[in-house]
Amino acid sequence: MKNQRTLASLLAIALVFSCVQAAGQAPQTQMSKPAATPGVELAQTISMITGVAISPLLGVSAVGVWKYAKTPPSRRASLPWFAQPWFWVPGLVLVIAVFVKDSLGPAVPTALKKPFDIAELFENKLSALVAAGAFIPLVISIFPEMAGDPAISGGPIVAAIDLARIGNALMVPFAIVAFAVVWLASHTINILILISPFGAVDAALKAFRLFLLATVAATSFANPYLGAAWAMLIMVICWFIAGWSFRMTVFGTVFAWDLLTLRRNRHVPGLSPTWAFTARELDGVPVRTYGRVLRDEQGDLAFTYKPWLVLKTRTLTLPRQDYAVGRGLLSPDIIMLDDDRAISVLRFPPRCRTHEEALASQLGCNQVHDIGLKAMWGWLREFLGLGARGERHAVTQTPAPA
């Protein structure tokens, strides 16, 4: 744990040092070097989009500091919102607060740390929305424009300016898609941290994300084309895991919202559609797919879902087996009883916790079983003689009400 926290600290210090060094050298570099070519602009933009997508709040704040530092004081008032101190100062303060929380993570009890992880999860989503909607369109300037040059008065140059603006505008949708793909993959780290009960795993995941961010910044400063190549490799990898990342994002968002709002206290099974996630791959339907579970006209358990939540509705009919509702620590499951095994098939969100008997009655399941940590705790109580054997069976196998 100590080594992981040290690694995360060193990576953070290296990243901040690189940003500060670039900011300090930016004015001299801008004065001594000729204007960047479209190729260099494109390479730098690819690296910037990738870095901001990996950590939106840190990325946008760092770009704001860089622009503020390289701009002469007389022109700073005209800088965009993300380069103004009123934005990047609170942004960096919040980033430092999150970093301190992560550094102390293994020493803080999980019960106290998880609420902050939930808050960070939603902060990451909000920062991504701001970056995709308000930041990316502002910083897309791959084709240099000559507007504002006093030597230009019109003629064919005006057409070139219009073409440059059109080219920049056409790049915005591609930039937002690239940002979204990388952000989805990065955001799964927040999801994994939320559902992980181990502080060491949390620290390792944060260190890995910070390492990726540091490599994007370092390669871009060393050579724009090398940085762009590394950033594009990250984009390609994120593209191939985009489906998994999207399902994990939906899964984590639903779980976090239910836990944050204590939705189980307001949930009444049967009054609204019964939503669930696949707990494993089922006949080609990927794990963590979000959909509704119900009994169809033939009396079979059916799972209806929309790929990517917007495509055409599909229905998966579960095989005819004995099913039960599993009472888990955070949320219940639908488990398939196969001989002496209990296989988790579907997982309900936390809003369904404490409503296991009602779910079993609604879905026509025969029993309610303790699973996971709850089953382990029941076995431990029996082993230590803290509860009668008959009492334990009454808890772990409860007939569903008629």
Which pair of tokens denotes residue 268?
A: 């009444």
- Name the one residue in this structure whose structure tokens are 């080594």: 3
The pLDDT of residue 348 is 93
Which pair of tokens denotes residue 273?
A: 């559609």
Over residues 78-94, the mean pLDDT reads 90
With 60 as the cut, is the pLDDT of residue 89 above it? yes
The pLDDT of residue 106 is 60
More confident residue, 273 or 281: 281
pLDDT band at 125 (very low <50, low <70, confident <90, very high): very high
Segment of 71-80, 160-169, 367-376 carrying the highest mean pLDDT: 71-80
With 70 as the cut, is the pLDDT of residue 239 above it? yes
Instruction: Please state, as a whole number, how many other Cβ atoms lie within 10 Å of the Cβ of residue 279.
Output: 18
**CA separation for the pair 397, 330 (Å, rounded):** 18
Digit-coded pLDDT (tens) for 365-377: 878 887 765 555 5
Beta strand 398-399 with 333-338 is unpaired
pLDDT band at 227 (very low <50, low <70, confident <90, very high): very high
Please state, rounded to an integer, the average pLDDT across all residues of the chain.
77
The pLDDT of residue 188 is 93
Over residues 85-92, the mean pLDDT reads 91
* Phi, psi angle pair for 196, to nearest 5°: -85, 135
The pLDDT of residue 138 is 77
Which amino acid would we find at residue 322? D
The pLDDT of residue 36 is 57
Strand partners, 198: none
The pLDDT of residue 12 is 45
With 60 as the cut, is the pLDDT of residue 206 above it? yes
Q: Tell me the Ramachandran region of residue 258: left when phi exceeds 0, alpha when psi lies from -120 to 50, beta otherwise.
A: alpha
Torsion sign (Cα): 191, 16, 130, 175: negative
With 90 as the cut, is the pLDDT of residue 243 above it? yes
Strand partners, 177: none
